[in-house]
Amino acid sequence: EKSEEEKTKLTREEMRRMEEKLGAAERSEADMRDKVKAAEERAGRSQEEAEGARKEAERVREELRRAEEEREQLRKEVKTAEKSEEEKTKLTREEMRRMEEKLGAAERSEADMRDKVKAAEERAGRSQEEAEGARKEAERVREELRRAEEEREQLRKEVKTAEKSEEEK
């Protein structure tokens, strides 16, 4: 009779340990689901940032194109003014100086826009890399989650088997 009691105690203790393992596996699984969700959200945000940076780069490229056109137009005007000066027309040296200042400002603006395009393209590249990293992290955590779910199912089966065995005794 004592031997039977010892077996029952041992079986109950084993069942308690298996149920604790099952609970831990379920909590771990829930944590991994949260990690997957967070990684997927990071991937989405990084993708949005990359898209925004690409659009910004495109907008700045368009501004740059317009600035280049304006610079060319001003360059033509300066050449025309220089020819007119040579021909002793009504254009004054002051007007020429102002046009040359405008040309200088246009060239500086163009250089600034080139820098902006470069910066926006770099941001787009970094955001794309972050999105890819977050996607890989989400995939890795999904795989961990799948393994945890399998482990939980195995523990659940072991608990049921132990409970049936207990009932039969």
pTM: 0.50
pLDDT, tens digit (0-9, with 9 covering 90-100), for 39-82 = 889 888 888 888 888 888 888 888 888 888 888 888 888 788 77
* Of 24, 30, 19, 13, the residue nearest 157 (C-alpha): 19
**Tokens 């990293």 label which residue?**
133
Q: b/e map of 63-96 (b: 16 or more CB within 10 Å)?
A: bbeebeebbeebeebeeebeeeeeeeeebeeeeb
Contact assessment for residue 91 and residue 80, using Cβ atoms and an 8 Å cutoff: no
What are the structure tokens assigned to 154, written together?
């195995």
> Quick one: what percent of the chain has pLDDT higher than 90?
2
What are the structure tokens assigned to 97, written together?
């100086």
Contact assessment for residue 19 and residue 163, using Cβ atoms and an 8 Å cutoff: no
Average per-residue pLDDT for the chain: 82
Give the chain's domains with CATH numbers.
2-168 (1.10.287)
Helix (H) or strand (E) holding 125: helix 93-168
**Terminal CA-CA length for the chain:** 13
Indicate if the pLDDT at residue 167 is higher than 80: no
Indicate if the pLDDT at residue 7 is higher than 80: no
* Of 112, 111, 84, 113, the residue nearest 96 (C-alpha): 84
Indicate if the pLDDT at residue 149 is higher than 80: yes
Indicate if the pLDDT at residue 34 is higher than 70: yes
> What confidence tier does 91 reach under pLDDT thresholds 50, 70, 90?
low
pLDDT at 100: 83
